[in-house]
Amino acid sequence: MLDDKALVNELNFKAIRSSGAGGQHVNKTSSKVELTFDLANSQILSEAQIALLKTKLESKLTKDDVLILQCGESRSQFRNKAIIIKRFIELIRVNLIVEKKRRFTKVPRAAIRRRLKIKRQNSEKKSNRRPPEIE
């Protein structure tokens, strides 16, 4: 499985100023945290895992295969760092799961009969709504 502590050691963090309204203190503190992870040069992940993550996280990666995540939810830099680490690990875990290939099966006869019976009932219901034909 995945070693979270070793993965966190490969992360780079940068504190930046949060956007939006704040007050007097907003322009002095850098509470927003930006996480960068160089996927191409990861020592923890295998080649197969890197290839899988490149395909699944294609829209979130830069041209140099660097994943960038930001968190400015809290006013505390420490809390934002904890939130972004948790999000990163969850993102990696979810995207490393390989989906099972679908096995095609034959539609059961009972299901076909049921579908045709319902179609016949609907047809009769709608034909009964028509005005009678007078000859």
| Model-wide pTM > 0.85 | no
Q: Is residue 13 part of a domain?
A: yes
Q: Is residue 123 part of a domain?
A: no
Half-sphere exposure of 8 (CA within 13 A, CB side): 12
Q: Is residue 112 part of a domain?
A: no
Question: Residue 33 carries which DSSP code?
Answer: E
What CATH number does the domain containing 11 carry? 3.30.160.20
Query: pLDDT above 90 covers what percent of the chain?
Result: 53
User: Confidence band (pLDDT; 50, 70, 90) for 122?
Assistant: very high
Q: Is residue 133 part of a domain?
A: no
Reduced to 3 states, what is the DSSP secondary structure of residue 8? helix
> Is the pLDDT confidence value at 29 over 80?
no
Owning domain of residue 17:
4-96
pLDDT of residue 17: 82
Give per-residue burial for 99-121: e unless 16+ CB within 10 Å, then b. Answer: eeeeeeeeeeeeeeeeeeeeeee
Q: Is residue 130 part of a domain?
A: no
The total number of structural domains that make up the chain? 1
Q: Is residue 83 part of a domain?
A: yes
Q: Is residue 33 part of a domain?
A: yes
65 conformational bin, left if phi > 0, alpha if psi -120 to 50, beta if neither: left
